[in-house]
A and B are shown apart, each in its own frame.
Chain A
Amino acid sequence: MTPSHENYYVPEQSGWPILTTMGLALVGMGAPVLLAGGTPDFFALGLMILAFIFFGWFRRVVIESQKGLYSAQMDVSFRLGMIWFIFSEVMFFAAFFGALFYVRTFAVPWLGGAGSNAMTGQLLWPDFIAAWPLLDTPATGFDRPSEIVDPFHLPLLNTILLVSSSITLTFAHHCLKQAKRWQASAWLAFTVALGIAFLWVQGIEYVEAYTHSGLTLRSGIYGSTFFILTGFHGIHVTLGTIILLVMLIRLLRGHFNSEHHFGFEAAAWYWHFVDVVWLGLFFFVYVF
């Protein structure tokens, strides 16, 4: 290890974190107000503050980076930070995948009387037949879907779109490493376009699910797991697309060179993570 950290950049006092806290607090307080049927003002103001901060705080970091304040050791901090952040995201999705596997493996069969739970089935809902995808819920009062989403229609298209986007992103990275800025920009722009196309197709899928198939959040556990998994994934694709778009702008402005482009790499890591989550979704939510 080189004794380099006398150059480690310890930033001066900063107003960004406390402002972020206030934005987050407004969101955290505004969301329950909004959900209780109250005013959306706090929630919206909080979101606006957070958006402003994402711009301002990260801009500040970009400026510091451009000034050459960050040593190689700082670069490692950013890398490690991003890796562990992605790990935390993996665990966030793990909760929802865990819920999906649990209801499919245990909860739904048990409600149907499987294992040693014959009396559960008999006493609670004797007419209930365990199945997956679960269209007929044990109790009434849920939206019954007329059909499930066909995995080999829109979801397959989306799989192709997203896997391709990971490949085009890798092409962009290789071009960047060879200092071919314009090719890199073109590939990155193409990646962003694929991301937007993915979101568009998912929008169509959601509208079809709600209007045509009657598959909603209120469709019992099938609809619940379907929408929470694909929904949170969609939010992550949206964020990823915005991040890649910012990286495209930075690339066009010449912020990156063939050696130093960790902002780009971090965005790429995030995008590949989102892609891998999608593969899990495609197989376990749609196909099987």
Chain B
Amino acid sequence: MTAAVSAHHAPVRGIRRWLYTTNHKDIGTMYLVFSLAMFFIGGSMALVIRSELFEPGLQMVEPEFFNQMTTMHGLIMVFGAVMPAFVGLANWMIPLMIGAPDMALPRLNNFSFWVLPFAFTMMLSTLLMDGGGPNFGWTFYAPLSTTYAPPSVTYFIFSIHMAGISSILGAINIIVTIMNMRAPGMTYMKMPLFVWTWLITAFLLVAVMPVLAGTVTMMLTDIHFGTSFFSAGGGGDPLLFQHLFWFFGHPEVYIMILPAFGIISQIVPTFSRKPLFGYASMVYATASIALLSFTVWAHHMFLVGLPLAAELFFMYATMLISVPTGVKVFNWVATMFKGSISFETPMLFSIAFIVLFTIGGFSGLMLAIAPADFQYHDTYFVVAHFHYVLVPGAIFSIFAAVYYWLPKWTGHMYSELLGKCHFWCSFIGVNLTFFPMHFVGLAGMPRRVPDYSLQFADFNMISSIGAALFGLSQLIFLVTVVRCVLVGRAAPDSPWEGAQGLEWTVASPAPYHTFSKPPLVE
């Protein structure tokens, strides 16, 4: 015991520190760096897509390659950028927020992370294989992904398996940490909301990632062992794939937004210098969203010929989700109401989140109406909707979290000027890119096509210019973070005036080991 303790006062040097680490801060950092790398790779693919769509006609890439780009962009951003970023934040912040010495299962934690680089190297390598990479959309509907798939689909299946193993084990670790490692006195209803939202997110992950694993396994046996799960000729059904996929996929979209809700619920009270309005209702709203998320999957399938009863059920269940989500938005606004607000970069991103996520929420409500969805389905309106909840939603919350906690991680302040520059460029870029997509979508432009009718040309050009602006402004982010790490001025332990919580009681930068002795909460 004593030998073990004395051995980990300071990190070892060199690559071995990162390969062998059991430290939640190291692992959190690796998750975040990995996620940033994937964000740039997936972002480059988005720029290829937007370049092709800058003008009507085919000029930049072959349609086959365009399909690979839309597919890989989605897969990389969902599984490689957004999810690992949130897991990285969880790794860094949850032990600090609940007063734990580390994650509950530190070696498992290392394993969960290191699977990811291998999984995504394999997924990206499919682009170089015969027949190209996955070209069937990130939702990989059968039979496009089985009967008509390129040979590389097998590599894709196993990379999904690996990413899934990583997610499940990471989620188990987070649940166990939160349930078992809280400091004395920190009851469930005293936990910071980021911890709460992650507890619920982790539950969703453990519940649905295995379903995805089962689904891709059925694809594998359909492709290689002659089974008929997704083939009607043998008595199976391609629709079965869609049901299974969206049973995973709908909770998955909440996996990508609930931690964001948690982050916003940490940041808005800090910069409003007021406690969060309606803490308990936030917790219950999050739990309600998670439970409802299991009952709405077929709203992605309104056009496949569901029985009328199913259309109605899934329509009403989906609309019900706007109630707890509305509770959250009202709570954030009420938190700001009569607060003494200051507008540092994390707060700017958070306010933009609240406004723009709500726009995405409203377009979601429009899509939830089954008869209306008959018009919107598979148009750019859908693309506009989910990018509004994912980019100024999930991604903005990640930016907000990074700016908010960078002083704690690095011990340095970032440049507020660069941060604000990043914010405004991103804010303008994101709206320029995605707002016109509502219009072309409602006018009938289908998604996932490399070419389009002439009447969509102007709005597409605006979108592409916006995408270039958004993409380039992420270089400002990179510069801001690197400058912060290298030359930022020293940060105090609690750099934000209104910040509450255990993470601000430890030094900046956070020592390699924190809370070896648990703090006493109240």
Contacts and interface: CB of A to CB of B under 8 A. Distances in A.
Interface stretch (A25-33, A146-154, A200-208, A249-257): A25-33
A115 B306 CA distance: 11
Given A35-B224, A221-B229, A221-B235, A28 B218 contact: no
Q: Determine chain A's interface SS by DSSP, over half rule.
A: helix
Q: Which range holds the interface residue count of chain A? A: 35 or more
Contacts of B239: 107
A220 B19 CA distance: 46
A99 B111 CA distance: 31
A103 B235 contact: yes
Given A28-B159, A102-B243, A11 B107 contact: yes
B115 A21 contact: yes
B210 A89 contact: yes
Contact of A95 (B17, B211, B307): B211
B175 A24 contact: no
Interface string B155-190: 101110110010010011101100111111100000
A240 B117 CA distance: 30
Contacts of B215: 95
A57 B111 CA distance: 12
A137 B4 contact: no
A38 B225 CA distance: 16
Contacts of B232: 107, 111, 124, 138-139
Contacts of B111: 17-18, 20-21
Q: Which range holds the interface residue count of chain B? A: 35 or more
Interface string A250-267: 000000000000000000
Contact of B207 (A1, A35, A87, A106): A87
B207 A91 contact: yes
A54 interface: no
A217 B210 contact: no
Interface string A106-122: 11101100011000000
B229 A11 contact: no
Nearest to B22: A11
A115 B307 contact: yes
A211 interface: no
A108 B235 contact: yes
B234 A18 contact: no
A278 to B, nearest CB: 18
A141 B233 contact: yes
Contact of A36 (B154, B157, B165): B154
15 contacts: A3-B183, A3-B184, A11-B106, A24-B162, A24-B165, A31-B154, A76-B180, A77-B180, A80-B104, A81-B105, A94-B214, A95-B211, A103-B237, A221-B229, A227-B227
The 5 closest A-B pairs by CB, nearest first: A95-B214, A139-B233, A221-B235, A224-B227, A107-B237
